[in-house]
Amino acid sequence: MRKNKKIFTKFFDNSLNKKDLKLKRLKKGHLVDSILESNEEMPEEETSRDKPYYKYLYFILLFTFSILLFKLFDLQFFRGDYFLDLSKGNRIRSQIVRAPRGLIFDSKGKAFVKNVANFQIIIEPFDLPKDKKQKDELVNNLASDLNMPIEEINKVVSSSSDAKDFLNPKVIKDNIDQSIALKMELKYKDFPAIAVEPVPAREYLDPDLSHLLGYISRISEDQYEKNKNTYDMNDYTGKAGMELSFEEYLKGKNGKQMIEVDAQGRIVRFLGSEEQSQPKMGNNIVTSLNDDMQKEMVNALKAGLEKGNSKAGSVVAINPKDGSILGMVSLPSFDNNLFSKGINPDQYKALLQDPLKPLFNRVISGTYPPGSVVKPVIAAAGLQERVITTSTTISDPGFLSIKNAYNPSIEYIFKDWKPGGHGSVNVIKAIAESCDIFFYQVGGGYQNFKGLGAVRLEKYFKLFGLGEKSGIDLPNEVDGLVPNEEWKKKVKKESWYTADNYHIAIGQGDLLVTPLQVASWTATVANGGILYKPRIAQKVVDSNGKIIKNFPSEVVRKDFIDSQNIDIVKRGMRSTVTSGTAKSLNSLPFEVAGKTGTAQYGPNNSKEHAWFICFAPYNDPEIALAVLVEGGGEGSIVSAPVAKQILEYYFNHK
Domain-wise residue ranges, the chain: 2-78, 92-287, 292-333+362-653
User: What is 238-280 written as a DSSP string?
Assistant: EEEHHHHHTHHHH--B-EEEEEEE-TTS-EEEEE--TT-B--B
Residue 212 has pLDDT above 70, yes or no: yes
Q: Where are the beta strands (DSSP E) in 383-464?
A: 394-396, 399-403, 411-415, 423-425
pLDDT for 75 equals 60
Chain-centre distance of CA 143, in angstroms? 34
Other Cβ atoms closer than 10 A to 318: 30
Q: What is the DSSP letter of 96?
A: E
Separation between Cα atoms, residue 351 and residue 423, nearest integer Å: 50
84 pLDDT more than 60: no
CA dist., res. 330 & res. 344, Å (int):
24
Superfamily of domain covering 292-333+362-653: DD-peptidase/beta-lactamase superfamily (3.40.710.10)
State the virtual CA torsion across 485, 488, 493, 495 in degrees, nearest 10. -40
Helices 178-187, 132-146: inter-axial angle, 10-degree rounding: 160
Summarize pLDDT for 134-176 with one digit per residue, the tens.
888 888 888 888 888 888 888 877 765 554 555 577 888 888 8
Q: What is residue 558's predicted lDDT score, i.e. its pLDDT?
A: 97
Q: How far apart are CA 501 and CA 439, in angstroms?
A: 10
Residue 136: the pLDDT is: 83
What per-residue confidence (pLDDT) applies to 21?
Answer: 37
Compute how many other C-beta atoms are within 10 angstroms of the C-beta atom of residue 60.
Answer: 10
- To which H or E segment does residue 532 belong? strand 531-532
What average pLDDT score do residues 190-218 get?
Answer: 89
Residues in the chain: 654
Confidence category of residue 32, pLDDT binned at 50, 70, 90: very low
DSSP alpha helices (H): ranges in 548-609?
Answer: 563-578
Q: How far is CA 495 from CA 213, 409, 443, 489, in A?
A: 44, 21, 18, 6
Burial class (CB in 10 A: 0-12, 13-18, 19+), 468: middle
Tens-digit pLDDT profile for residues 588-615: 999 999 999 999 999 988 899 999 999 9
Which of the 8 DSSP states describes residue 513? B
Residue 29: its pLDDT value, please?
40
Residue 110 pLDDT: 97
Q: What is the pLDDT of residue 522?
A: 99
HSE (side-chain half, CA atoms, 13 Å) at 391? 0
This prediction has a pTM of 0.81
Task: Tell me the three state secondary structure of residue 622.
Answer: coil
Same CATH fold assignment for domains 92-287 and 292-333+362-653: no
d(CA 20, CA 477): 102
* Position 545 pLDDT exceeds 90: yes
Contact between 597 and 574 (Cβ < 8 Å)? no
**Cβ distance 322 to 351 under 8 Å?**
no
Dihedral in degrees, nearest 10, Cα atoms 158, 163, 167, 170: -30
Cα–Cα distance, 632 to 599 (Å, whole number)? 10
Q: Is 100 helix (H, G, I), strand (E, B) or coil?
A: coil
**Which run of H or E residues covers position 195?**
strand 194-204
Confidence band of 133 (pLDDT split at 50, 70, 90)? confident
pLDDT of amino acid 80: 58
Instruction: Return mean pLDDT, the chain.
Output: 87
Check residue 245 and give its pLDDT.
Answer: 98
Inter-residue contact 174 to 203 (CB < 8 Å): no
Fold of 92-287: Penicillin-binding protein 2a (Domain 2) (3.90.1310)
What is the rounded distance in angstroms from the CA atom of residue 549 to the CA atom of residue 541? 7
